[in-house]
Amino acid sequence: MIQHREFIASLSTAERRDFTQQSDQPGLLRLGILVLLIVLCSITITSRNTLWIPAIFLQGLLLMSLFHLLHECIHLTAFKTQSINKLVAAVCGFILFLPPTWFRYFHQAHHRYTQIPHKDPELASPKPDNLLQWVSHVAGWRIVYDQTKLYAKAIIQPANDDFIPARAKHRTHNEILLMGYCYFAVFLICLLAGISQIFWLWLLPLVLGQPFLRLYLLAEHADCPQDPNMFINTRTVMTNPILRWLTWNMPYHTEHHVFPTVPFHRLPQLHTKLESYLQNTSKGYVNFNRDFLATVKASPL
């Protein structure tokens, strides 16, 4: 069994340079289309025409796509221009209630210690092991609780998560506080002014989009061995082009973990290069969740 480090070492200098070549154009093009779709959905929802209810669900999917864009931006690979990465990360983080600096360090620790107990922060929230837990997970209740707790804690004490380096705790804490104050101001102004669009265009779609994101994220590492080899501890999902577009090619997740500095638009080429080494794959998210539920359905509620 080849180790992911051995695979990286086997690549020539030219191959590494080719895979990690960054560009602004693919990210800006995809972002432009995404923003246009969000605007069109927003117009449809506001107009209350016959398609406004389906448009709310589509808006949820589009807003969930911002999570994957945020993920790429904190890797500094969505765009070649780093100031664009930081700006887009800040906007996406605000829309998703996810502080980008906090998430950056959380995600760095996840990459460094993937599937290693007590070190990978993603393992702090256990995967569902019965049907009720799966429903709760897919609904996104836990993430709402965790993010609310994150902002509430920031009011009382500085950011103290183990994965945040000491030099960044003050900056991370200030960012969380600033975002919390901004949310309070926005919601208060909308409440006093009687502005309801914030609910229909932002908050409700976020809630409705959570199940799609949770079903996707569950497939990344659930039921994968707790092994340091990225070819073993991460799953690639073979899905359709539309989902790959919405998720910024992150279904190629083993590929991403093996070589995290590869931009999203180069992951299909990397997939072709290492496809024969993949150990955990699934033919679509429906198939994965069906198989996953088959392992928990006998568990007591």
* C-alpha span between 180 and 50 (Å, rounded): 36
- Assess if residue 19 is contained within a domain: no
Is 185 within the bounds of a domain? yes
CA atoms within 13 A on the CB side of 217: 23
Is 294's pLDDT higher than 80?
Answer: yes
Q: Is the per-residue pLDDT at 147 higher than 60?
A: yes
- Whole-number percent of the chain with pLDDT over 70: 98
Tokens encoding 226? 């707790």
Q: Does some domain include residue 70?
A: yes
Determine, yes or no, domain membership for 281: no
16 within a domain of the structure (yes/no): no
Chain segment 247-292, per-residue pLDDT in tens: 999 999 999 999 999 999 999 999 999 999 999 999 999 999 999 9
Does residue 128 lie in a domain region?
Answer: yes
Mean pLDDT for 170-194 is 95
Q: Percentage helix, strand, coil, to 5, in the chain?
A: 70, 0, 30
In a domain, 246, yes or no: no
Residue 43: domain span? 24-220
The answer to whether residues 239 and 220 touch, using CB atoms and an 8 Å cutoff, is: no
- What tens digit of pLDDT does each residue of 199-237 get? 999 999 999 999 999 999 999 999 999 999 999 999 999
- CA 61 and chain centroid, separation: 12
In a domain, 233, yes or no: no
Q: Which residue has the higher pLDDT, 155 or 254?
A: 254
Q: Is 282 helix (H, G, I), strand (E, B) or coil?
A: strand
Mean pLDDT of the chain: 94
Measured distance CA(109)–CA(161) in Å, rounded: 11
Residue pair 150/102 in contact by the 8 Å Cβ criterion: yes
DSSP string, 40-79: HHHHHHHHT-TTHHHHHHHHHHHHHHHHHHHHHHHTT-S-
Neighbours of 142 (CB within 10 A): 15
Overall domain count for the chain: 1
Residues 46-87: tens digit of each pLDDT = 999 999 999 999 999 999 999 999 999 999 999 999 999 999
